[in-house]
Amino acid sequence: MRLTYTNGANCDATSNTKAKFSINMYCDPDAEDKYFDISPGVLGNLCEPYVDLVTKAACSKLSVSQLWDYLAKYSDFFGVFLLISGVILVFLGR
């Protein structure tokens, strides 16, 4: 994951290039909850510096595959609910 600030001041007086700052976050699922490892200083150049972080907070918490697994597990209940809702809409809808 990368967070970037892109609306900085001009890098130098001769160019119109705007300065950017980035924070790169890398996932480590085995890290402690309140622990993160930071790079030993600011990396990059004067116009585009960046910092690297390794932390558990950068790991994804929910993936779409978990949602599809949940829907597949309870598909019978969702199917019955949708059929009943459809019948009600047919008779009461316009």
Could you list the pLDDT tens digit for every one of the 94 residues in the chain? Answer: 788 888 878 887 677 788 888 888 888 877 776 666 676 777 888 788 888 888 877 777 766 777 888 888 999 999 999 999 999 999 987 6
Long-range contacts formed by 58-61: CB under 8 A, 24+ apart = 58/1, 58/25, 58/26, 58/27, 58/28, 59/27, 59/28, 59/29, 60/27
Consecutive H or E run containing 3: strand 2-5
